[in-house]
Structure 1
Amino acid sequence: MPIVPDVPEHGGDQDEGRGAARPGGPAFHDDPAARPYQAAPRNPEPLPDAPQPVPRPPKKSAGRDLGAAIGVGLGLGVVIIASLFVVKAAFVAVVVVAVVVGLWELTKRLEERKEIRAPLVPLAIGGAAMVVAGYVRGAEGAWVAMALTALAVLVWRMTEPPEGYLKDVTAGVFAAFYVPFLATFVALMLAADDGPWRVLTFLVLTVVSDTGAYAVGWRFGRTKLAPRISPGKTREGLLGAVSFAMVAGALCTQFLIDDGAWWQGLLLGLAVAVSATLGDLGESMIKRDLGIKDMGTLLPGHGGIMDRLDSLLPTAPVVWLLLVIFVGSG
């Protein structure tokens, strides 16, 4: 195939300005019409004053592997529902495992980031005892187990040098209250005659609240809720959490809870949205102090166990108390 030279697209006589006779000589070189033809550059530089294209804003992203998060969430849901409605004791075991793993993540991060060595062994044993005691003996058993766990933390730490004793045992008592003691209220709900339905209501409302906050905040969020603690949370997201949780609460109390009424569910949903948001902000505060994004990596797309328990733990006593007020302890 012959090589065709580039030809300028002037739209007319292509020889005009090239082959026509023109006066020659240096006197005519300053005349633009007298200059020899020069092909325009292929990629001319834009003029300084020419408007530049405006870059498109980046698309919003969830920030995590959404596929993995959904898969792990569904898997956890199957395990929870199966254990909850087959054998109550099996669900108690699931709560115990979650508590022990959560304590391990929390104490590990405290040691890595702050050199705080909260004793894990008495915390794990005492935490498991708290959950079981709450299910078997009620609130009184949970309080006794909490007190004994705190005492065990104080004694266990005495086997090491005294340097850092106060901060270590303080962190240990905090961990005992934050993880296993708050989780004990799930066992208290389970102990009622309609316990599985109460626990299911608690889980559904918390998940729906988190989902509503994420969906509405991601789509419509403009005003930051607590930018110094969690920049991703917005006031619009909080309104979404309240709206979603109140609707779910009305449905759950009307159809799942014995002697429950829809208006009670509205109040329950409102309380869950507030407590779940505060719980999420609380753990965000801890993670900011530690300088980490997630408490662990055990759950792909979610982080660690503690990253899933952050809104559940402070919500458990709220739901337990309101259900006791509304319909009794069962």
Structure 2
Amino acid sequence: MTPGRSSGRKKRAGRDLRAAIGVGLGLGAAVLASLFVYKPVFVGVIVVAVVVGLWELTSRLAEHKQIRAPLVPLAVGGAAMVVAGYVRGAEGAWVAAALTALAVLVWRMTEDPREYLRDVTAGVFAAFYVPFLATFVAMMLAADDGPWRVLTFLLLTVVSDTGAYAVGWRFGRHKLAPRISPGKTREGLLGAVALAMAVGALCMHFLIDGGIWWQGLLLGLAVAVSATLGDLGESMIKRDLGIKDMGTLLPGHGGIMDRLDSLLPTAPVVWLSMVLFVGAG
């Protein structure tokens, strides 16, 4: 996400930069350790992120819009989606998603019928926005070289955000979407594209079995676009809710959903690109 131009230790509208860097490095180390030690452990990491993200999203909907999206079927179904995607692939993920949507409809029937349609619509949206998109990370992981695919996905998303931050902070003049995210600039988007394409070429050449550098250029471009759209999408949700962050769990970052905003829509983009370029693995 592209920051404003505030000075001192605190950047991005008052965030503590040192805390943000420390938390980011700690999360990165934990994620990488689980990713390369034992695949099912990383599946567990995805499940935990999904459940916490759903809790944050449904809590903010209830607090600011009085929308009662049922958390229990969403959390159980979300975990099932991730596991099914890892074990059974896309077919398993779709079946789990359909059953989760059905569970949301039935669970909400036990409460007051007023605003039923609004609540279940929000519940189905939450099911597809958080766990279903996260399932594509689990499907990437299931490939023989799955950890390297997931690492590429994470690296490209991070460098896309970093490129947008660095170039936008230094050279940003023209707003990209001022009504949604005033800090984002067109120059920052170009920085995201350039850095993601460069790193994408390196990742496809050195990390992915059968990958070719020019495929990484296309992958990096796609990631920069999807990560930016994901960031803008969550900003739109937060503006509608009238909040700055989805949570306070991560010092300097906000909540889990504030870290997943770029990752979630990028996961299916990277998964599909990998399948098209080098196969399902």
Partner of 2:173: 222
**Counterpart of 2:263 in structure 1: which amino acid?**
L
SS in 1 for 2:250: coil
Cα offset, 1:58, TM superposition: 7.3
Give yes or no for the alignment of 1:234 onto 2:198.
no
- In 2, the alpha carbon distance for the partners of 1:59 and 1:259 equals 45
Q: How does 1:121-270 map to 2 (within 5 A)?
A: 121-270=72-221
Q: Tell me: CA distance 1:164–1:86, structure 2 relative to 1, closer, same or farther (3 Å).
A: same
**For residues 58 and 302 of structure 1, what CA distance do their matches in structure 2 show?**
16
Structure 2 CA distance for aligned equivalents of residues 124 and 201 of structure 1: 27
Whichever residue aligns with residue 80 of structure 1, its letter is V
**What is the 5 A alignment of 1:46-195?**
59=7, 61-63=11-13, 64-195=15-146
Post-superposition, which runs of at least 4 consecutive aligned residues in structure 1 deviate over 2 A? 57-63
The Cα shift of 1:154 comes to: 0.2
Note if 1:328 corresponds to 2:279: yes
Unpaired stretches in structure 1, ≥5 consecutive residues: 1-56
Residue 108 of structure 1: how far off its partner (Å): 0.1
Query: Which residue number corresponds to residue 307 of structure 1?
Result: 258
The offset of 1:111, in angstroms, is 0.2
Q: Summarize the Cα distance change of 1:258–1:117 in structure 2 as closer, same or farther, 3 Å threshold.
A: same
Deviation at 1:202, TM superposition (A): 0.1
- 2:124 and 2:7 map into 1 onto residues whose CA distance is 44
Structure ranking higher in helix proportion: 2
C-alpha distance in structure 2 between counterparts of 1:87 and 1:323, whole Å:
22
Question: Cα deviations across residues 139-180 of structure 1 (Å, max 9, x unaligned)?
Answer: 000000000000000000000010010000000000000000
Equivalenced residues, count:
274
Q: CA RMSD for the aligned pairs?
A: 1.1
SS state at 1:329 partner: coil
TM-score, reference length from structure 1: 0.82
Per the normalisation by structure 2, the TM-score is 0.96
Q: 2: CA distance between counterparts of 1:145 and 1:280?
A: 26
The percent identity for this pair of structures is 85
Q: Is residue 105–residue 120 contact of structure 2 (8 Å, CA) maintained in 1?
A: yes
State the AA in 1 paired with 2:57: L
- In structure 2, what is the Cα distance between the partners aligned to 1:164 and 1:94? 34
CA shift digits 1:217-264 (9 cap, x unpaired) = 011101000000000000000000000100000000000000001000
1:317 is matched with which residue: 268, 274, 279? 268
CA 1:99–1:291 in structure 2 vs 1: closer, same or farther (change >3 Å)? same
Offset of residue 62 of structure 1: 3.4
Q: Which of structures 1 and 2 has the bigger CA Rg? A: 1
> How many Å apart are 1:91 and its aligned residue?
0.1
Task: State the one-letter code of the partner of 1:309.
Answer: L
Residue 303 of structure 1 aligns to a residue whose secondary structure is: coil
Question: SS of the residue aligned with 2:231?
Answer: helix
CA distance in 2, matches of 1:216, 1:196: 30
**Which structure's relative contact order is higher, taking Cα pairs within 8 Å and 6+ residues apart?**
2
| Separation in structure 1 between the aligned mates of residue 236 and residue 105 of structure 2, nearest angstrom | 26
Gapped runs of 5+ residues in structure 2?
Answer: none
SS at match of 1:232: strand
